[in-house]
Amino acid sequence: MGSQLERPILIAGGGPVGVIAALALAQQGLPVQVFESAQRVDETPRAATTHAATLEMLAQLGLLEDVIRHGLLAPLFRIWDRSSGEMVAEFDFGILRDDTPHPYVVQCDQHKLVNFAIERLRAFSHATIEFSASVTEVRQFDDRVEISVHCGSNTRTITGSYLIGADGGRSMVRRALGIAFEGYTHPERFLVLSTTFDFSGTYDDCLRNYFSDPEEWCALFKFSGADGRGLWRLLFPTRADETDAEALDSGAIERRLQAFFPKAGEYSVIHRNVYRVHQRVADRFRQGRAFIAGDAAHVNNPLGGLGLNFGIHDAIELSRLLGSVVRDEAPASALDLYDLRRRPLNFEYVQRQTIDNKNRMEEKDLNVRTANFEALRKVATDPAAHRTYLLRASLIDSVRNQPRANADTILLRERRDPARL
Ligand SMILES: Cc1cc2nc3c(=O)[nH]c(=O)nc-3n(C[C@H](O)[C@H](O)[C@H](O)COP(=O)(O)OP(=O)(O)OC[C@H]3O[C@@H](n4cnc5c(N)ncnc54)[C@H](O)[C@@H]3O)c2cc1C
- 295 CA to middle of ligand 1, Å? 6
In terms of C-beta distances under 8 Å and separation of at least 24 residues, what long-range contacts does 410-419 make, across chains too? 411/347, 411/351, 411/352, 411/355, 412/182, 412/183, 412/184, 412/279, 412/280, 412/281, 412/347, 412/351, 413/182, 415/184, 416/359, 418/187
Beta-strand pair 134-140/49-50: unpaired
Residues 6+ apart with CB under 8 A from 98: none
Q: Which atom of ligand 1 is nearest to the CA of 308?
A: 19
Give me the numbers of helices (H) and strands (E) for the chain, helices first please. Answer: 13, 22
Residue nearest ligand 1's atom 3 by CA:
46
Exposed/middle/buried for residue 337 (C-beta within 10 Å: 0-12, 13-18, 19+): middle
Any ligand 1 atom below 6 A from CB of 312: no
Ligand 1 within 6 A of 167 CB?
yes
Using the atom order of ligand 1, give the atom closest to the CA of residue 44.
1
Q: Which residues are CB-contacts of 264 (< 8 A; sequence separation ≥ 6)?
A: none
Q: What order do you get walking across the sheet with 162-165 strand by strand?
A: 127-130, 32-35, 9-12, 162-165, 290-292, 286-287
Of the candidates 348, 315, 275, the residue with the CA atom closest to the CA atom of residue 165 = 315
15 lines ligand 1 (CB under 6 A): yes
User: Which residue is closest in CA terms to ligand 1's atom 35?
Assistant: 13
Q: pLDDT (tens digit, 9 = 90+) per residue, 307-359?
A: 999 999 999 999 999 999 999 999 999 999 999 999 999 999 999 999 999 99
Predicted local distance difference test score (pLDDT) of residue 52: 98
Ligand 1 within 6 A of 8 CB?
no
Asked if residue 14 has its Cβ within 6 Å of ligand 1, the reply is: yes
Going by CA atoms, what residue is nearest to atom 10 of ligand 1? Answer: 47
What is the chain's pLDDT, residue by residue, as a tens digit (421 residues)? 444 567 999 999 999 999 999 999 999 999 999 999 999 999 988 999 999 999 999 999 999 999 999 999 999 999 999 999 999 999 999 999 999 999 999 999 999 999 999 999 999 999 999 999 999 999 999 999 999 999 999 999 999 999 999 999 999 999 999 999 999 999 999 999 999 999 988 887 899 999 999 999 999 999 988 887 789 999 999 998 899 999 999 999 999 999 999 999 999 999 999 999 999 999 999 999 999 999 999 999 999 999 999 999 999 999 999 999 999 999 999 999 999 999 999 999 999 999 999 999 999 999 999 999 999 999 999 999 999 999 999 999 999 986 554 444 444 544 443 333 2
pLDDT for 237 equals 97
- Cα of 113 vs centre of ligand 1, distance in Å, is 13
Question: 41 CB under 6 A from ligand 1?
Answer: no
Report the C-alpha gap between 203 and 186 in whole angstroms.
Answer: 29
Helix axes 16-26, 110-121, angle to 10 degrees: 30
**Cβ atoms within 10 Å of 226's Cβ, excluding its own:** 10
Distance, in Å, from the CA atom of 59 to the CA atom of 130, rounded to the nearest integer, reads 26
CA of 323 to the centre of ligand 1 (A): 25
342 Cα to the center of ligand 1, angstroms = 19
Establish whether residue 304 lines the binding site of ligand 1, counting it when its CB lies within 6 angstroms of any ligand atom. Answer: no
Report the alpha-carbon distance of residue 152 to residue 150 in Å, rounded: 7
Query: Residue 165: exposed, middle, or buried by beta-carbon count in 10 A (0-12, 13-18, 19+)?
Result: buried
Distance CA 181, CA 337 (A): 20
Reported as a single tens digit per residue, the pLDDT across 253-290 is: 999 999 999 999 999 999 999 999 999 999 999 999 99
Cβ of residue 31 lying under 6 Å from some atom of ligand 1 = no
Give the span between the Cα atoms of 209 and 103, in whole angstroms. 18
